[in-house]
Structure 1
Amino acid sequence: MPGHYKKGKVEKVMGEYKRGELHSGSKKGPKVKSRKQAIAIAMSEAREAGEEVPMRKSSMKRLSMRRKGK
């Protein structure tokens, strides 16, 4: 089902965000204040770790535009 994925890395990163420990970029970067930004970082790190996560919104838009054209 779309939207279902392993939540290991995502849960870890979101926990960092809730505790106020999540930084953008490296540990020297500013703290993340936006929940949307925290989710984007979590999904990106999960992709790098090889976990299966939903596609980016830009990829989804491109896919739907192709389907409309056919």
Structure 2
Amino acid sequence: MTACLCPSCAAIPGPTYTADWMRECEAQRVLGLPGKPERHAYLDLVAKRRGPTARAQLEAEVVRQWNQGRK
């Protein structure tokens, strides 16, 4: 059995328990939305619920993944 790597159990959390990992996964979800209006609406909702900094961070990750996929 492997040890739990959540922040409560491990001094150094595993990568799937970090804010960066969450942002990467959420960006993939945003990119999977049907169109640009839906993606912007999602980002607007993030700004409303979590603030403009969270939106900017997520939007930057979305753009990073979008550009990486276009290469």
TM-score in terms of structure 1 length: 0.31
- Looking at secondary structure, tell me which structure has more helix per residue: 2
Q: Which has the higher contact order (CA 8 A, sep 6+)?
A: 1
